Amino acid sequence: MIKEIIVVEGRDDTTAIKRAVDADTIETGGSAINARILQRIALAQERRGVIVLTDPDHAGERIRKIITAKVPGCKHAFIPEAEATKKGDIGVENASPAAIQHALARVHTSYEGAESLIDMEDLVQAGLLVHPEASARRMAMGNILGIGYCNGKQFLKRLAMFQITRDEFVCALAQIEEGG
């Protein structure tokens, strides 16, 4: 059984989680996350810890940001969009048990206000900004590092928030360059 409570968006996500692992969940009810749900998440964080596992889409990122702002210290797991998409529908409910297990095995804890170990120039040099394939390269690196996909500014913030080391960054970049 996973000690932490996994925060998901809805019932179908809970069903997918329970197919993959033995864990308790809190459902946000989609992007309409309210104060009552945030209180439950805060209590869960205090008592057992929380892992946020939302859909790899705009709404999922919005929910993740709200939770991170209101409940500090949550852990985060990310499923790559390609592994959470079925017939054009993106969501945790579409991920295989193996994809969910892999995401939960690579959990990151956020540290708001953490000092960045990588800077904007590093992103430019790595082809993650101002490069014709920057978006695809950020997606690949986000998947390798287990921090998900986002725009350049948010990517830099996530690298700091999850304290991705220079060695991890360089290793992920090497995998991208090798085509992995």
pTM for the full model? 0.84
pLDDT in tens, 116-173: 789 999 999 999 999 999 999 999 999 999 999 999 999 998 999 888 999 999 999 9
104 shares its domain with 123:
no
132 shares its domain with 98:
no
Query: In angstroms, what CA-CA distances link 123 with 11, 38, 115, 169?
Result: 38, 34, 16, 10
What are the DSSP calls for 37-61, one per residue?
A: HHHHHHHHHHHT-EEE---SSHHHH
pLDDT value at residue 30: 82
Classify burial at 61, counting beta carbons within 10 Å of its beta carbon; exposed 0-12, middle 13-18, buried 19 or more. middle
15 shares its domain with 102:
yes
118 shares its domain with 155:
yes
pLDDT value at residue 110: 74
103 shares its domain with 120:
no
Q: What percent of the chain has pLDDT over 90?
A: 87
What mean pLDDT do residues 53-70 have?
94
157 shares its domain with 177:
yes
93 shares its domain with 124:
no
Q: Give the end of a domain, one of 75, 110, 145.
A: 110
Q: Give the end of a domain, one of 54, 77, 110.
A: 110
45 shares its domain with 67:
yes
105 shares its domain with 135:
no
pLDDT value at residue 88: 92
What mean pLDDT do residues 106-111 have?
83
Q: 65: part of which helix (H) or strand (E)? A: helix 58-70
Q: What is the rounded distance in angstroms from the CA atom of residue 144 to the CA atom of residue 2?
A: 23
Tell me which residue range forms the domain holding 71: 1-110
pLDDT value at residue 161: 86
pLDDT in tens, 75-97: 999 999 999 999 999 999 999 99
